[in-house]
Amino acid sequence: MKNNKIPKLKEINSINAHIDIINTISIFPSGNIISVSHDFSIKIWDPHFNIIQKILKAHIDNIIYVCIINENNFVTCSWKVIKTWNKKNSFENIFTLNNEINNAHNDWINKIIYSSKENLISCSQDKTIKIWEKNNNNNFQSITTLTHSDWIYSILLLEDKNTLISSGIDGTKFWNLNNFENYNFQNVQCWNNNGLKRIDIDRIIVSGEGGLMKVISISKKMIIKEINNICICWGICIIKNKGIFLTGGESFDVRIFRYDNYECIQVIENAHKDYIYGFIQLNNDSIISYGWDNNMKIWSF
């Protein structure tokens, strides 16, 4: 962190964005914002939080996660279903349904990510991870299934595209995607799709059990730090340009830690009126938090 300055986070705006829990918010390369919710809707916002598009009844169940592929394409998931969306005209900001994968899993799909190989990877409460690729008809088909012994909440693909990290109730696994062998941390649990994040080239952080977050060295494949977050953490956000990470969860508070020495440098009590699901970095000086109170809150350093 430059000059050891400690950034302080202040709320600058609050938007009642949905009529039910906000599960995921993400940012397009243009700066436009997308949010998905338990209210079955997708909303797309400009950087000033004006609504560009509302897709009501986008799914027939809670929408759990949204993955942006590029400026013109994104993917959403819910109960058993994955949907792909695109723009008919790249000059307009209107998205329409492109494809639907029904019965993609046998339970809630908690997260879906995109690989540069044009594959999708999804994880579910049915205890499986599936790797999808496009067939000759330009539709996605499942080509590989990996398993846990319990619900899987989050997945993370490393930059070499050959290592996948998955985490859930039964622990955290490192998968070699060349031969599908895995290394298992049974005592490193994750409780939300936002609870597994990359700190830097060699460190990941996992939300942990009972409020005890754990940092793992990727190269050494060992736990190098345990951090007391007081309560169960559901969302972690790494702010690289500030040298910090944020946590939120069942206490309604936001906690800010330095990621060089893991010191807690700020606690914002009652930042939300209910559980905090996650955060997204808006720009160098602003972040958005969201969760069970249906609000997007904008914060600035």
One-letter amino acid for residue 95 of the chain? F
Kindly report, residue by residue over 122-142, the tens digit of the pLDDT: 999 999 999 999 888 878 999
Dump pLDDT digits (tens) for 253-268.
999 999 999 999 999 9
Fold exhibited by the domain 2-300? Methylamine Dehydrogenase; Chain H (2.130.10)
Query: What are the residue ranges spanned by the domains of the chain?
Result: 2-300
What pTM does this model have? 0.94
Both tokens of 275, joined, read 């559980």
Say if CB 44 and CB 31 are below 8 A apart: no
- Which of these, 158, 254, 166, 255, lies nearest to 206 by C-alpha position? 166
Summarised one tens digit per residue, pLDDT across range 171-208 is 999 999 999 999 999 999 999 999 999 999 999 999 98
Angle at CA 240, nearest 5°, toward 161 and 74? 50
Residue 108: pLDDT above 90? yes
- pLDDT tens readout for residues 49-62: 999 999 999 999 99
Instruction: Say how far apart CA 280 and CA 203 lie, in whole Å.
Output: 19
Which tens digits make up the pLDDT trace of 281-294?
A: 999 999 999 999 99
pLDDT for position 4: 57
Dump pLDDT digits (tens) for 66-84.
999 999 999 999 999 999 9
Residue 91, pLDDT above cutoff 90: no
With beta carbons less than 8 A apart as the criterion, state whether 71 and 28 touch: yes
Distance CA 83, CA 98 (A): 7
Q: Give pLDDT, residue 31.
A: 95
